[in-house]
Copies of this chain bind each other. A is one copy, B any other.
Amino acid sequence: MTSEYDSQIAVRQTAPDTYAATLGEGWVVGGAVNGGYLLSVLGNAIRTRLSEEGDRWPHPFAVSAFYVSASAPGEAEVRTTVKRVGGSLSTVAAEIYQGDQLRMTALATFGDLGVIPDDVATVAEEPAMAPPEQCFGRDDAPAEMPPLFSRFDMRFPPDQVGWALGQPSDRPEIGAWFRLPDREPDPLSLLLVADALPPVTLAMGRFGWAPTLELSVHVREVPAPGWLKVRHVSRNMAGGMFEEDCEIWDSRGRLVAQARQLARQPRPGASVV
């Protein structure tokens, strides 16, 4: 059976290099369709397009997306342009349109994570987190959550939910366990995971949507089945914006993806640009 995620990121070719998609109602947060879900739809179109060239580039290695206007649920078109087909890596530009409105423009390099060398000299340390069964999930939320949070299982450690209890943190950090209810993680779905958590500004008690201007994701390894551990940290909050770095660790304790975004700090009624 097809998982919810796979059915919702499905694309259908409508012309050479062009794919139709339907952005699901369930992925809305903060008045727009979630950026990680959009990136998954776009990544799926790129993967589909590259499969016409051969089977050597099934996985995203690096994706950078610029969000130029807020997407709404409904019909969308993904237009792709292959920039270079290489021996191990291929690079594609892709854009999501709704009608004549550009929602998102992106570049991506795809390759095969199954054939990379197996050296690991990572110095980052896996964050400590209470086990999922001791964490708080959406069933524990005191108020109604945005539709997005019904799409996956996200569990917040007890020492990181002060923001929900009127005791916000003074550190721009937020961490959670993540899994899709009906599907194991793979490289493509990490594009969703990279922008699934609430922004670090929420941990600091600043409620509201933090519109992403740019999001870059590096997928470094095929994730193992099971829970993912996700941690977002900001180092630079200034000038009305903040950068947010995301690390995704798999159940073997491997750092399988890193992402960085530049976002606007939340303010009521903020628009993307």
Name A's B-contacting residues (CB within 8 A). 61-62, 64, 66, 68-69, 83-84, 86-89, 91, 93, 102, 105-107, 109, 113, 116-124, 171-172, 213-214, 216, 218, 220-221, 234-241, 243, 247, 254-255, 258, 260, 262, 265, 273
Excluding A64-B64, A122-B235, A218-B243, 6 further A-B contacts by CB distance (< 8 Å) are: A61-B262, A66-B91, A66-B109, A214-B216, A220-B236, A220-B238
Chain B residue contacts of A220, Cβ below 8 A: 236, 238-239, 241, 243
Tell me the minimal C-beta distance from A104 to chain B in angstroms.
Answer: 10
Query: A241 to B220, alpha carbons, bound, how many Å?
Result: 8
Chain B residue contacts of A235, Cβ below 8 A: 122-124, 247, 255, 258
Query: A61 to B262, alpha carbons, bound, how many Å?
Result: 9
Tell me the minimal C-beta distance from A217 to chain B in angstroms.
Answer: 10
Given A83-B105, A262-B62, do A273 and B89 touch, yes or no (CB 8 Å)?
yes
Tell me the minimal C-beta distance from A134 to chain B in angstroms.
Answer: 27
Query: Would you call A218 and B102 a contact (CB within 8 A)?
Result: no
Tell me the minimal C-beta distance from A107 to chain B in angstroms.
Answer: 5
Query: Would you call A106 and B109 a contact (CB within 8 A)?
Result: no
Given A107-B66, A116-B239, do A172 and B123 touch, yes or no (CB 8 Å)?
yes
Query: A66 to B61, alpha carbons, bound, how many Å?
Result: 12
Given A64-B107, A64-B216, do A119 and B86 touch, yes or no (CB 8 Å)?
no
Query: Would you call B216 and A216 a contact (CB within 8 A)?
Result: yes
Chain B residue contacts of A83, Cβ below 8 A: 66, 68, 102, 105
Query: A168 to B91, alpha carbons, bound, how many Å?
Result: 35
Chain B residue contacts of A86, Cβ below 8 A: 68, 273
- Pairs A–B under 8 Å by Cβ, sample size 26: A61-B213, A64-B214, A66-B83, A66-B107, A83-B102, A86-B273, A88-B273, A116-B239, A116-B240, A116-B241, A117-B240, A118-B239, A121-B237, A123-B172, A123-B235, A123-B237, A124-B236, A220-B236, A221-B238, A235-B255, A235-B258, A236-B255, A236-B258, A238-B254, A258-B260, A260-B260
Chain B residue contacts of A119, Cβ below 8 A: 237-240, 265
Query: A258 to B236, alpha carbons, bound, how many Å?
Result: 9
Query: A119 to B241, alpha carbons, bound, how many Å?
Result: 9
Query: A66 to B106, alpha carbons, bound, how many Å?
Result: 11
